[in-house]
Amino acid sequence: GQNIDQPTEMTATEGAIVQINCTYQTSGFNGLFWYQQHAGEAPTFLSYNVLDGLEEKGRFSSFLSRSKGYSYLLLKELQMKDSASYLCAVVGGYQKVTFGIGTKLQVIP
Amino acid sequence: EAQVTQNPRYLITVTGKKLTVTCSQNMNHEYMSWYRQDPGLGLRQIYYSMNVEVTDKGDVPEGYKVSRKEKRNFPLILESPSPNQTSLYFCASSKGPGNSYNSPLHFGNGTRLTVT
């Protein structure tokens, strides 16, 4: 089976940096996605990692360590509009995609 | 505009009354999937389809049916809805799951279903 863990809630200050962690145990691994979901809206794609290391896209970066079953999403220069849930999703064996429960991030002034 | 279209956005129904939630994508994606999202449980996969006429069960398929007669459409059918199927449902599509950088899921806007 597949198990994904991420914190339920986090709070950070506008302009700061926040790191959202995701740990996983899967049978097989074919990549890890991060999605952003604002309240009441559909998830939208943020980043994808399949090899170890850091992927940077503007204010957002994502890191993967396959040997540790660990990923994080780094958000820099936080803005109020970054208040949302961040979903970690792992593609395991047989291309099965499993989502974590999501981390609700609140950005405060 | 590339999109996944779900209908309806909101639906209130009664126990046992068959319903269908439609999903259509205009991106020529092979892979389509249905999820339900419940507080504290995250997104859970109901059914998925790798291509036309190919469907498979996800993690929570009980009480649901799907069909994939055309590439663009993937309707979700509840033959006899029950209150425990009250949830927020999302349809999603992609070129294909796996290790391709260009294969993220594109989600529809969601259908909030209430079964009384």
Interface contact A91, partner B, CB < 8 A: yes
pLDDT above 90 coverage of chain A, percent: 82
At residue B1 the predicted structure's pLDDT band, cuts being 50, 70 and 90, is confident
At residue A97 the predicted structure's pLDDT band, cuts being 50, 70 and 90, is confident
Of residues A44, A48, A102, nearest to B42 (C-beta):
A102
Q: Nearest-CA neighbor of B109 among B12, B31, B9, B33? A: B9
Residue B97 pLDDT exceeds 90: no
- For residue B74, CA distances in Å to A31, B7, B55 come to 25, 12, 10
Q: Nearest-CA neighbor of A70 among A108, A9, A21, A28? A: A21
Structure tokens at B19: 């319903």
Interface contact A98, partner B, CB < 8 A: yes
At residue B99 the predicted structure's pLDDT band, cuts being 50, 70 and 90, is very low
List of E strands, B1-116: 4-7, 10-13, 19-25, 31-38, 42-51, 54-57, 65-66, 76-78, 87-94, 106-107, 111-115
Of residues A31, A35, A99, nearest to B99 (C-beta):
A31
Q: What is the pLDDT of residues B25-38, one digit of tens each?
A: 999 999 999 999 99
Q: How far apart are CA A79 and CA B21, in angstroms?
A: 36
Of residues A50, A91, A101, nearest to B41 (C-beta):
A101
pLDDT of residue B96: 72
Mean pLDDT of chain A: 94
pLDDT of residue A93: 76
Flag if B107 and A42 touch (Cβ within 8 Å).
yes
Flag if B106 and A35 touch (Cβ within 8 Å).
no
A105: enclosing H helix or E strand: strand A103-108
Backbone angles phi, psi at B41, to 5 degrees: -120, -15
Q: Nearest-CA neighbor of A4 among B14, B45, B34? A: B45
Q: What is the pLDDT of residues B2-61, one digit of tens each?
A: 899 999 999 999 999 999 999 999 999 999 999 999 998 989 999 999 889 999 999 999
Structure tokens at B108: 């529809």
Do B21 and B6 touch, CB atoms closer than 8 A? yes
Interface contact A67, partner B, CB < 8 A: no
Instruction: Look up residue B68 and give its DSSP letter.
Output: -
> Span B103-109, mean pLDDT?
92
B39 Cβ neighbours under 8 A, 6+ residues apart:
none
